[in-house]
Structure 1
Amino acid sequence: MKEKDKKQISKFLSLILRHQPEKIGLQLDKNGWAWVIDILEKSKLKFTLKELEEIVMTNDKKRFSFNDDKTKIRANQGHSLKTINLELKTQVPPKVLFHGTIEKFIPSIKLEGLQKMNRQHVHLSPDQETAIKVGSRRGKPIILSINALQMHNEGYAFYHSENGVWLTDNVPVDFINLIPNNLTSEKLLDE
Structure 2
Amino acid sequence: MLRQCRKHGHFSGTNCPVCNEEGKFIMSDREAGSLGRMLALVLRHAPEKFNVEMDINGWVSTRELADSISGQRRHYHWLRGWHFEAIANADEKGRYQVEGEMIRATYGHSIEIELDLPTDEIPEALYWPCEPTEADAIVQLGITSGTRNHIHLSKTIVNALEAGHVRIDRPAIIEVDTVRAVADGHTIYRAGKTVYLTDEVPPEYLYRVEDDDQMIVDTVARWTREEEE
Q: What is the correspondence of 1:23-102 to structure 2 with a 5 Å cutoff?
A: 23-43=49-69, 44=72, 46=76, 47-67=79-99, 69=100, 71-82=101-112, 84-91=113-120, 93-102=122-131
Question: Who is 2:29 aligned against?
Answer: 3
Tell me whether 39-48 or 102-111 shows the greater mean CA deviation: 102-111
Change in CA separation of 1:32 and 1:105 when aligned onto 2, cut-off 3 Å: farther
Tell me whether 128-137 or 42-51 shows the greater mean CA deviation: 42-51
Q: Which runs of 5+ in 1 are unaligned?
A: 185-191
Q: Which runs of 5+ in 2 are unaligned?
A: 1-26, 215-229
* Residues 101 and 135, structure 1, Cα contact 8 Å, conserved in 2: yes
Q: Look up the equivalent residue of 2:173 and give its one-letter code.
A: I
Q: Deviation digits for residues 151-190 of structure 1, max 9, x if unmatched?
A: 1122211222253422211011222222232518xxxxxx
Q: Look up the equivalent residue of 1:80 and give its one-letter code.
A: S
Aligned length: 181
Shift of 1:74: 0.7
Question: Who is 2:204 aligned against?
Answer: 174
Change in CA separation of 1:92 and 1:154 when aligned onto 2, cut-off 3 Å: farther
Q: Look up the equivalent residue of 2:150 and give its one-letter code.
A: H
* Residues 136 and 208, structure 2, Cα contact 8 Å, conserved in 1: no
Q: Look up the equivalent residue of 2:55 and give its one-letter code.
A: D
Normalising by structure 1, we get a TM-score of 0.82
Change in CA separation of 1:175 and 1:182 when aligned onto 2, cut-off 3 Å: farther
Change in CA separation of 1:78 and 1:182 when aligned onto 2, cut-off 3 Å: farther
Shift of 1:19: 1.1
Distance of 1:86 and 1:130 partners within structure 2: 22
Change in CA separation of 1:160 and 1:182 when aligned onto 2, cut-off 3 Å: farther
Higher relative contact order (CA 8 A, sep 6+): 1
* Structure (1 or 2) with the larger CA radius of gyration: 2
* Residues 81 and 119, structure 1, Cα contact 8 Å, conserved in 2: no
Give the match's secondary structure for 1:180: coil
Question: Who is 1:131 aligned against?
Answer: 160
Give the match's secondary structure for 2:52: coil
Q: Look up the equivalent residue of 2:32 and give its one-letter code.
A: K
Of 149, 155, 162, the residue aligned with 2:185 is 155
Shift of 1:133: 1.3
Shift of 1:110: 4.9
Normalising by structure 2, we get a TM-score of 0.69
Give the match's secondary structure for 1:15: helix
Distance of 1:89 and 1:3 partners within structure 2: 32
Distance of 1:173 and 1:87 partners within structure 2: 26
Tell me whether 48-57 or 152-161 shows the greater mean CA deviation: 48-57
Q: Give the % identical residues.
A: 27
Shift of 1:17: 0.3
